[in-house]
Structure 1
Amino acid sequence: MVIKRLAKNNNDKNQVYIHKSIGVFNSMFSLKFNERDESSSTTKRASKPGKKIPEAVFTKFSWVSSDSSLHEVKSCKAILYAQYPETRLSGFQTIHNEMPRSMSIEFTKIEGIPPRYLAIGATKSGDAVAMMIVDPSAQFEEEFDGLENAVSSGVIKSSALGKADNRTQDLIVLLKEKVAGQTLLGCRLDKDGNTIPFTGTQVCGYTLEHALGIKPNADKDGDIFGIELKAISQKKVTLFTPEPDGGLYKQSFPDFMKKYGYLKGTDEYRFTGIHRANSRNEKSGLTLKILFLNKGKAKDEFFESEYDPSKSIDKQSRNLRVSLVDDQGFEAATWSFERLLNSWGVKHNETVYYPVKKVLNENASGIEKGYKFLVEFDSKALWCQKTQISKLFNAIHDGTIILDPAPKYVESNPKLNKRRSQWRINDIYRDSAKLYDEVELIDL
């Protein structure tokens, strides 16, 4: 939970400054970031500053009233102003056009306005629950002053009240009971909750979800108790698979594949090979870079710069993007700051990597029923907690996270086309500490 002492002019019409970094909120709350227009810069200084301001909409933001009922807000947004940098909140009215009176313009015009505090807590799935605290007791103000500052902020305080949630321990107990050290039939749950055999490449993950009673889904929430759960069969792990939202890849997938891919057969184009930051891939001729718009000395002067991990990501967030750049400086494919924020957020703030092994089922009766595989579950799991978007960018920059793409374009049969941008880490056991503050191999 974060708490801020509001200034007199903080109200529904004037945005509330909350933090310099939008990434801090992204690791606490479930947010949907609006993504920028495509970028196809061909020169270092040709970019213009007229880019969209990054903004994130809370998946769910509600006011809690004195009777503990929740009142959902229409669209509360966190808006990042990269030139400062700072993040401000706006949009506090509920779907019924209501809000706390103490957040209204009329209230802030009162002479001798009493002290106000805005408190925002996060549920285990990242929903925001907020309340206004007006004219509190001296004891409250004293305790507020004694709270720790939120990450890299002297403006908002953080409270550990949320740690009363025992979701981590609940999941440990469930894993011990349902899967640890066991060998289970390869299966999954269907949409109605029935058990059915499964023989696809995701058999390990589906079998784990089945054991815990989780129906298969492709949303961005954590798999269980708000915790992301990944079944891993090797130390090399795919972290996420967002597609580019800019560059030639976005503008024309066929043109990208023909220009940077290679021909396999008569009309099938492939694009493969490890792309590591600041290292040219000989097969594609592309170099993976992290770029942003830097402020020049003149008022409206901006120029392209490369990301520097020794500096604050907040000061490099203007048009920040990961890009595949060719030898002429053309950005063939780009992943915007917003696209990556959408892929690396609150659901990754607690992630469990569970070691598994897929083996052939040798039981004839089981095979007859469709259970081709068995899944063996380890007795230990890698538990990772607390991450930030800066950790993600730093890990891409130093080559810990690599792009291992595998798209395919078949000119004569578009049905065979596939797009696959895999962002991977070569050794999750060795390098997880670069992505998370807390890493522990838990014996189940």
Structure 2
Amino acid sequence: MIQNIENLKSRFKSLGATRLFFKCLAENDNSKNQIYLGGSFAVLTYFQYGNVETFPDAKYPNFKAPIKFYWIDSEQVEQATSAQLILYPQYPEVRLSGFLRGCTLAPSKFLQPTLASQRSGIDGRVLFFGTTEDGATLAYLAPRNSVIANAAIDFANLTQEKAIFHDLPLTNLVGKSSKILLLDALREIHLSGFVDSIRLNKQGERMPYSARNGGGYTLEAMLGIKPNAIAAPDYLGWEVKAFSSSRITLMTPEPSSGFYGDNGVEAFVRKYGRKVAGKNQLYFTGNHVFDQTNKTTGLKLVVDGFDPKTKKITDVNGSIFLLDQNTHEAASWSFSHLLNHWNKKHASAAYVPFTNNKATPPKYQFGSPVYLGERTDFSKYLNALAEGKVIFDPGSKVENPDAPNKSVKARSQFRINKKDLSLLYESFEEIQL
């Protein structure tokens, strides 16, 4: 039996939880009304979830994403297989749904609607969440007036934070948070001075790397991060980005629709790219800023389904578009595609400056300060785009386009200036190592 907060922490840790937080429930948090998780998509950074899908024809158009949700007690674990996150952009708000269906371990009797005649405005139930590195969300509900619920409410009152979620200090085996561990690792790398350019192979072994784009690979290798294209954080829940100039690449998603989506990068570059003087190369590049036509490519970057005045998504089927001079769709990225990538990858992000010694092969030195961003929101990303702070700055090309040995490189990147990074996060810190 789980008797107190310490027992509860131990139980969550034994099941692999690396973060523990709770919500003091309200009377309308129940199986009928769903469980309210927050009035911003930033709450998505607390959970791991599956692919986001759009439901434009629902009574209240929304996005939905499945979540691997498990109820626990002192001895058992059982999955609520219908659990999902529902994102209502018009409010905005996020709710948890399907958390009881088909799960015998679920605390159903404590999550039934309260009759209007019995409502007092005081609830007393507390719902605990523990998240694991393999993408699971573990849950435990402490009933009203229980020892655990009362202790959690006292803890929340002590912090005096008017927040939806309250983090409990669930530390790892060495007694430090992931944030402190990350900073310790970056400090050690910073104090190492110039280091050889390397990257990890698939087996996790360090290999020399002589190309000029080795800064990010070297930092990842020193942190033990294998190269991957998975939309998930790199190191202990943190996305780590090395940068050497004032302009920083945020993400590189390929367009999901339009001419590019239908025909691929080579056909796109042949149609909208340009020949490079002195080289047998077609290149598609240029700064594409919101609501402006790029003079080189003739394409205009626009956003449909987002209102910059209210800073809200107005259409769940919305997209970011590149339109040609005839308003034909050259390329587009759907909100659901980008939202899925953005919140998963950028929930917590560390931006690390570096320099190289210009030698061959190069050596890199990773500097200070570093910049830490926490709790992002896709609406913040769209707003920064609409303000012209996030730009589309591609670098796709076709080498030897008319030869049998032609090569094609796709590079669809969205970038931002370092000084504007804080626009993307609820919390942003500059930390000297």
Tell me the TM-score normalised to structure 2 length.
0.77
- The answer to whether the 8 A contact 2:40-2:92 is kept is no
2:107 aligns with one of 99, 102, 105: 102
User: Which residue of structure 2 lines up, in the alignment, with residue 44 of structure 1?
Assistant: none
Shift of 1:263: 5.0
Shift of 1:234: 1.5
User: Which residue of structure 1 lines up, in the alignment, with residue 430 of structure 2?
Assistant: 441
Q: Go from structure 1 to structure 2 and tell me whether the alpha carbon gap of 1:103 and 1:256 turns closer, same or farther (over 3 Å shift).
A: farther
- State yes or no: 1:223 paired with 2:222: no
Q: Go from structure 1 to structure 2 and tell me whether the alpha carbon gap of 1:260 and 1:162 turns closer, same or farther (over 3 Å shift).
A: farther
User: Which residue of structure 2 lines up, in the alignment, with residue 331 of structure 1?
Assistant: 329
User: Which residue of structure 1 lines up, in the alignment, with residue 10 of structure 2?
Assistant: none
2:71 aligns with one of 63, 68, 76: 63
- 1:23-102 matches, within 5 Å, as 23-35=41-53, 53-58=62-67, 60-67=68-75, 70-74=77-81, 76-82=83-89, 86-92=93-99, 98-102=103-107
- State yes or no: 1:396 paired with 2:385: yes
C-alpha separation between the residues in 2 aligned to 1:229 and 1:353? Answer: 6
C-alpha separation between the residues in 2 aligned to 1:91 and 1:202? Answer: 46
User: Which residue of structure 1 lines up, in the alignment, with residue 320 of structure 2?
Assistant: 322
- The answer to whether the 8 A contact 1:125-1:222 is kept is no
User: Which residue of structure 2 lines up, in the alignment, with residue 419 of structure 1?
Assistant: 410
Q: Unaligned 5+ residue runs, structure 1?
A: 38-47, 151-156, 293-306, 363-371
- 1:226-375 matches, within 5 Å, as 226-253=237-264, 256-262=268-274, 269-292=282-305, 307-314=306-313, 316-361=314-359, 372-375=361-364
Shift of 1:423: 0.5
**Number of residue pairs matched by the alignment:** 395
* Range that drifts further, 374-383 or 157-166: 157-166
C-alpha separation between the residues in 2 aligned to 1:91 and 1:412? Answer: 56
Shift of 1:312: 4.2
- The answer to whether the 8 A contact 2:43-2:94 is kept is no
User: What is the one-letter code of the residue matched to 2:374?
Assistant: Q
Q: Go from structure 1 to structure 2 and tell me whether the alpha carbon gap of 1:99 and 1:439 turns closer, same or farther (over 3 Å shift).
A: same
User: What is the one-letter code of the residue matched to 1:310?
Assistant: K
User: What is the one-letter code of the residue matched to 1:103?
Assistant: S
- The answer to whether the 8 A contact 1:28-1:346 is kept is no
User: What is the one-letter code of the residue matched to 1:216?
Assistant: P
Q: Unaligned 5+ residue runs, structure 2?
A: 1-20
1:159 aligns with one of 154, 157, 166: 166
Q: Secondary structure at the match of 2:50?
A: strand
- State yes or no: 1:376 paired with 2:394: no
- The answer to whether the 8 A contact 1:75-1:91 is kept is yes
| Structure 1 residues 273-318: Cα deviation after superposition (integer angstroms, max 9, x where no partner) | 11000111122222111111xxxxxxxxxxxxxx33331425x243
C-alpha separation between the residues in 2 aligned to 1:277 and 1:247? Answer: 18
User: Which residue of structure 1 lines up, in the alignment, with residue 9 of structure 2?
Assistant: none
* Range that drifts further, 247-256 or 415-424: 247-256
Identical aligned residues as a percent: 31
Tell me the TM-score normalised to structure 1 length.
0.75
RCO comparison, higher one (Cα < 8 Å, 6+): 1
Shift of 1:163: 7.3
Q: Secondary structure at the match of 1:130?
A: strand
Q: Go from structure 1 to structure 2 and tell me whether the alpha carbon gap of 1:65 and 1:115 turns closer, same or farther (over 3 Å shift).
A: same
- The answer to whether the 8 A contact 1:180-1:380 is kept is no
- The answer to whether the 8 A contact 2:41-2:87 is kept is no
- 1:119-138 matches, within 5 Å, as 119-123=128-132, 127-137=136-146
Shift of 1:30: 2.2
User: What is the one-letter code of the residue matched to 2:430?
Assistant: L
- The answer to whether the 8 A contact 2:231-2:344 is kept is no
Shift of 1:218: 2.7
| Structure 1 residues 69-106: Cα deviation after superposition (integer angstroms, max 9, x where no partner) | 65444453212345665543334369xx634342379x
Shift of 1:264: 5.8
